[in-house]
Amino acid sequence: MDLKDRLIAPFQNDMFAMVWGAFKKLYPDKECEIYWEPQIRDEEDGKPVYGLTDFADDGSVAVFVKPSLEVADAVEILAHELAHVAVGIEHDHDEVWQEAFDKIFEEYNRIGNQMFPNGEQCVMDDPDEK
């Protein structure tokens, strides 16, 4: 068994695992590999780039997320890129892609509410809210 096959997330409230679980529940036949990638270009067409999905000629799909992002932002970028995986290269940011993104977001929230029905994942109070 390869080391990467034995890695598990140490966080009980791992938002990346929750997004992945939502994606796989909705799109069980879609496959991709996901990587942190610090070398993602900074912008494209004047817009910042935080993640990308690569649809290779051999049919494989890879998702890349910039690791310098705040965790919550990186989770949203992962969901964004997984919506691209779900709908394929032919749908950029059209209505089909938006529907997939919304479904992943809704399922992610359902999983979170099921796992932590009383907001238990918020184990620390935000000091800025006092």
Average pLDDT, the chain: 89
Q: How far apart are CA 110 and CA 103, in angstroms?
A: 10
pLDDT digits (tens, 9 = 90+) for 38-94: 999 888 888 999 999 999 999 999 999 999 999 999 999 999 999 999 999 999 999
Residue 40's beta-bridge partner residues? none
Is 23 domain-assigned? yes
Q: How far apart are CA 72 and CA 128, in angstroms?
A: 17
Residue-wise DSSP of 60-88: -EEEEE-TTS-HHHHHHHHHHHHHHHHH-
Is 64 domain-assigned? yes
Whether 33 has a pLDDT exceeding 60, the answer reads yes
For the beta carbon of residue 41, count every other beta carbon within 10 angstroms.
9
CATH number for the domain that contains residue 82: 3.30.2010.10
Is 69 domain-assigned? yes
Is 123 domain-assigned? no
pLDDT at 105: 97
Phi, then psi, of 47 in degrees rounded to 5: -110, 145
* Count: domains in the chain: 1
Whether 2 has a pLDDT exceeding 90, the answer reads no
Pseudo-torsion of CA 101, 11, 25, 114, nearest 10°?
-90
